Chain A
């Protein structure tokens, strides 16, 4: 599904990603862990198409398409979903209106007509239940006045509505208490199928107790320095990142 080869990227002349290689197949869950400043968020931003980052080398193929050539909205329409670490508040735009616009634009891209009003409402109802989002929140302005936990839950709700092929969760656990974490993780797990894939980006192992990865990659200084199974995450939790840092020096 996703194949990243020797990806290098910089911002303001500073190289952050220094040759990333990663392959993700349908049905898999990958975790990317690493200390602060290792390039985790940069990787998710580059994949989603954030313009401030400059890709200087490498290729990213997503379902045989050259992802780096696509505008951010087309990446989303192709099936990439980034759950933001800091979801943006948009006062005056209702969640529902926002999602209808997004869903219809994605449908148009694939040659489909607008979704019928009643089908849309049924979909909203179903997905709301799935991610345990209060219907009041669904009708409010996008993220306006939401608590940290509500914002993250709203990200998962959007993910449920848009049914992406590849979801990238960027530090979705940051700022969540254990209950919110459990709800968010259970939403992600319920959305998992053999046809979609998930990349979980996190600093801590905690989230991985709930979303169990098939592969764990350690990102340090812009490169994946170690890969393994889910036990690698536990190892990191125990020993910390110091050993990785020492080895890299």
Chain B
């Protein structure tokens, strides 16, 4: 079997080598190490524990045996007209490439193509938080990412920053994007990333490394609505310094496959982290959320709540890992996942994992999967509300607990519309 897997890997890498770019901005020893990791581990399939329900190898073998296609040219002014949000700073990323007429979005925000980062930034941050040896998909990205952007927030933002991810690919493409966010000391920012839908059959393997410096406070929203034929692998690896706050909101509405790997390293004392997730899946979708919170220093706090509505023949995975290092005393870590199944063919696999080596900590986790509450349904019906509207109201109520955590009114409104659309 191992040879088979490696054969698939080799064939795929050959295809990539011919049709995809290379991560020229990566230090060459990093690329070498990445290729070596791929060589030994291969592209993950269901035999890898953390890819049990998410067989990437099979997807690539089936849908991306050949990679061909092109990027449609899009007009920047059109994009701006369609997506720009008045009350925010806007950054447009088309097929992973930064697309803007001015790279200084504001004096507090610097954005540039990842290829143009300085040696200092590269040495300090690149491939420091997302390590090739931890995951073959990260290795694949380190070797083949040929696009992406660097974002630096150096002062507190007076408006939220919205990053619009637009896909204008045609054909059958697999591409790797590599992003790096550096959030400097004592800053506050709200960053929202919207992934818009497209009809194409593409596979995007994204790695975003985020460095949150001392006393920085960040709200980071990732909302994915990529369309029924798209495959999205989103690897978000966060490194927090002391007394910082990082709050992640991950929303997944559509996509043939969406895999979110969210890893937080709480690498300073008194850090605070919040992880909120909502996924609504249907048809034959697979949405796989893997989160990992690593408490590495004392007095850290993390709080996680993921909710899912799983319909039709779709499958959802929630795998939440909390790790508390031996020295990370006085850690508070909470985790909860709640799911509603809307059909007999829908499947949820929810798995909390706790690994605790410190003795003075408070940790808890809980998971539940069920159907719409019959008592609540009857209550609504007894007021004259029909089955369909009653269910819809209750699903909205279920989603609301996550939605209400969203930081900015525009983001809340936009994501609520997506919730409405998908629950319709």
Taking beta carbons and an 8 Å cutoff, which residues of A are in contact with B? 48-51, 71-73, 75-77, 81-82, 84, 87-88, 90-93, 97-99, 101-103, 105-106, 109, 141, 158, 162
State how many angstroms separate the Cβ of B317 from the closest Cβ of chain A: 25
Interface band, chain B: 20 to 34
Cα(A91)–Cα(B373), bound, Å: 13
Q: A90 — nearest CB in chain B belongs to which residue?
A: B397
State how many angstroms separate the Cβ of B403 from the closest Cβ of chain A: 8
Interface residue? B387 (CB, 8 A):
yes
State how many angstroms separate the Cβ of A150 from the closest Cβ of chain B: 16
Interface residue? B105 (CB, 8 A):
no
A72 close to B378 (CB less than 8 A): yes
CB-CB < 8 A to A141: which residues of B?
Answer: 397
Pick the contact of A88 from B376, B384, B385, B404 — CB < 8 Å? Answer: B376
State how many angstroms separate the Cβ of B401 from the closest Cβ of chain A: 7
Mark out the residues of chain B between 196 and 214 whose CB falls within 8 Å of any chain A CB in the assembled complex. Answer: none
Among A93, A97, A99, which residue has the most Cβ atoms of chain B within 10 A? A93
Cα(A82)–Cα(B134), bound, Å: 58
Interface residue? B357 (CB, 8 A):
no
What 0/1 readout, one digit per residue, does chain B (382-404) give for beta carbons within 8 Å of chain A?
Answer: 11111101100110111111011
A106 close to B384 (CB less than 8 A): yes
A90 close to B384 (CB less than 8 A): no
Q: Given A91-B400, A102-B384, check contact A50 B394 (CB 8 Å).
A: no
Cα(A81)–Cα(B382), bound, Å: 7
What 0/1 readout, one digit per residue, does chain B (347-389) give for beta carbons within 8 Å of chain A?
Answer: 0000000000000000000000000010110111111111101
B394 close to A101 (CB less than 8 A): no
A73 close to B396 (CB less than 8 A): no
Q: A164 — nearest CB in chain B belongs to which residue?
A: B384
Pick the contact of B383 from A50, A71, A97, A98 — CB < 8 Å? Answer: A98
CB-CB < 8 A to A90: which residues of B?
Answer: 376, 379-380, 393-394, 397
A162 close to B383 (CB less than 8 A): yes
State how many angstroms separate the Cβ of A46 from the closest Cβ of chain B: 12
CB-CB < 8 A to B378: which residues of A?
Answer: 48, 50-51, 72
Q: B376 — nearest CB in chain A belongs to which residue?
A: A88
Cα(A49)–Cα(B385), bound, Å: 13
B401 close to A73 (CB less than 8 A): no
Pick the contact of A92 from B373, B386, B390, B397 — CB < 8 Å? Answer: B397
Contacts A48-B378, A84-B382, A102-B384 given; 20 further ones with Cβ under 8 A?
A49-B382, A72-B381, A73-B381, A73-B386, A73-B387, A76-B383, A88-B373, A88-B379, A90-B376, A90-B379, A90-B393, A92-B399, A92-B401, A93-B400, A99-B383, A102-B380, A102-B383, A103-B384, A109-B384, A162-B384
B401 close to A101 (CB less than 8 A): no
State how many angstroms separate the Cβ of B260 from the closest Cβ of chain A: 24
Cα(A109)–Cα(B393), bound, Å: 19
CB-CB < 8 A to B397: which residues of A?
Answer: 90-93, 141
Pick the contact of B381 from A71, A84, A98 — CB < 8 Å? Answer: A71
CB-CB < 8 A to A97: which residues of B?
Answer: 393
Pick the contact of B389 from A51, A81, A87, A101 — CB < 8 Å? Answer: A101
Q: Given A73-B387, A105-B385, check contact A87 B396 (CB 8 Å).
A: no
CB-CB < 8 A to A98: which residues of B?
Answer: 380, 383, 385, 393
